[in-house]
Structure formats: structure tokens, C-alpha cells
Structure 1
Amino acid sequence: MSDLKAQITAAMKDAMRAKDKARLGTVRLILSDIKRIEVDERIELDDERVLQVLDKMVKQRRDSIAQYLAAERPELADKEQQELEVIKTFLPQPLSDSEINEILDQAIAETGAASMADMGKVMGVIKPKLQGRADMGQVSKLVKAKL
């Protein structure tokens, strides 16, 4: 079992003991997503893949919050925000803008990217380094600006 999955499982047990229903529900959602992928693909997820699952869940929550606020449903947006905060506790420490720019510059130099045609190469190099530590949508915009 990956370290991150074990940490999430331990958090579920802690939430059960503390009778924290909101946190418990979110942690169970995370574990069910992980389990679904493991069953569908018949594999044991490693930390990198668990981070991808968490990253996807964060993106989904952000999209939902934006839609709920646009539809003037703040109570639903608040629920999504609470889930987002719980999910973020399992992600690694986010990188600062200067650290992200440094990684981008290294990747551009490493791949020899000169135009937008090389964006896929650059993203392929930086995605594993930034997964779960930066919003990939924002990173994509930064890469476009640099190329």
C-alpha cells in the first residue's frame, strides 16, 4: 500500500473516532475513487497515481464551486469548499511562483523548446514534478506565455 493511501486510511479512522462526519465523508470519497481505479485497472496505486486522483478531485471541487456561485447557491459552494480543504490536507506543500518558474525554465532549457509546437514536450517534463503541488491550468498558461 502506498504511503499516501495509508495516510488517507488512517485519517478515515481518526475522523470516525472523532465523529467528524464532514471530514469522514470526504475521506471516504477519496478512498472510494482510489478503490474504483484499483478495481477497474486491477492494480495497486502508487503515491504518484494517488496524487493524480487527488489533483483531479481538487479540480472538480473548484469547478463545482464556480458553478454553484454562478447559480447563486452559496450553501452548496460552502460544502464543496469544505471538501476541497480536506482534500488539500493530503496534497504536498504547494510550490511558490518563483519555484514554479524555475522548474519551467529548466524544462524549457532541457527540452530545447522554442515555440508553441514544443509545449507538449515541456508539459511532459514538468507534470510529474508539479503534480499535486501546483494548479496545472495555471502552469499551462505560464508555459504558453514563456513560449
Structure 2
Amino acid sequence: MLRDTIKSAQVSAMKGGDKPRLAAVRLILAKIKDRDIELRTASEKPDDDALVVDVLQKMAKQRRESITLFEQGGRPEKAEVEKAELVVIEEFLPAQMSEEETRLAIEAIKAEVGASGMKDMGKVMAELKARHGTQLDMSKASGWVKSALA
């Protein structure tokens, strides 16, 4: 399980004395714990690995946005800290689909659900997320779905 992998990475970072990596791993574990607490009252709980991947994807997206803002704001030292955290976060994410693989998946789903225009974008996006959500950056996929349906 992904959660166990992250916990063992925490132990190895502690033993190795790698403070920046340890801080990033602890941050990941804290976000996962926050998500667990949110879901205590939920009627449906997602698969554990899906939950962890979702948390990691959100964290990676936040880091990318922060890096851009720090670089635009003339704070390269802050951007470097965010980049280091992003490297650790991406280490635990499953391999992402390439643009070509994503476009092929979109075309297959489009044919399956009989999508013909923009009104069917929700159906295609829902199916794409259900099948490949852990392997995609859904914000990029959204643009590709729009172009495929246009």
C-alpha cells in the first residue's frame, strides 16, 4: 500500500538524517491524516490508495502553483523549497499517462458513451476520472477533452 511506502520513507529519512526530505514526508502524512479525519463521518470511503493518490495530486498541484507565483514574485529561494517538496511528492505518485495515451483514452471513452459535443463533456470527464484518475492531471485532461469534443 502507498501509505506504508510513505511511512517507510519517513523512517529512512529519519535514519539518514535527510531533514528536507523528512519534512516533506511528514507534510504528506499530515495531509493524509487530515483527509482521514474529514472522511470519518463520510458514508462512502474511497479505496486507501485512491485516497492517498488524490491527496498527493492536490499537493503536487499546489506546489506547482506556488513555484510559479514565487518565481514571478522574485522569491527564488522559496521556489526552490517548493520544488524540493514537489520532487518528494511526485516520487510517491503512480506513473502519469503521456499526452498521447490520454488522448487515445479520451477518444475511446468518447466513442463508448456516444459523446458528440460539449454537452457530453461531463460524461466523458466522469468516465475518464473513474478509469484513469490516479494517472492523470485532470486539469490538463480537461483541455484535451474540450478539444476532442469541439
| TM-score normalised to structure 1 length | 0.93
When structure 1 is superposed on structure 2, of 34-43 and 97-106 the one drifting more is: 34-43
- Number of the residue aligned with 1:35: 33
Structure 1 letter corresponding to 2:24? T
When structure 1 is superposed on structure 2, of 7-16 and 129-138 the one drifting more is: 129-138
- Number of the residue aligned with 2:7: 9
Q: Write out aligned runs for 1:10-89 (5 A).
A: 10-42=8-40, 46-89=48-91
Query: Residues of 2 paired with 1:45 and 1:125: CA distance?
Result: 17
Q: Deviations over 1:77-128 (max 9, x none)?
A: 1110110000000011121222111111111111111111111111101113
Query: Residues of 1 paired with 2:133 and 2:57: CA distance?
Result: 7
Q: Deviations over 1:3-61 (max 9, x none)?
A: 01011001100100111001100110110011111123216861011111000001000
The alignment partner of 2:95 has SS state of coil
Kept in 1: contact 2:50–2:134 (CA 8 A): no
- Number of the residue aligned with 1:105: 107
Structure 1 runs of 4+ with >3 Å offset? none
Unaligned runs of 5+ in 1: none
Query: Residues of 2 paired with 1:44 and 1:108: CA distance?
Result: 26
How high is the sequence identity, in percent, across the aligned residues?
A: 43
Query: Residues of 2 paired with 1:119 and 1:133: CA distance?
Result: 19
Query: Residues of 1 paired with 2:120 and 2:90: CA distance?
Result: 31
Count of residues paired in the alignment = 145
| TM-score normalised to structure 2 length | 0.91
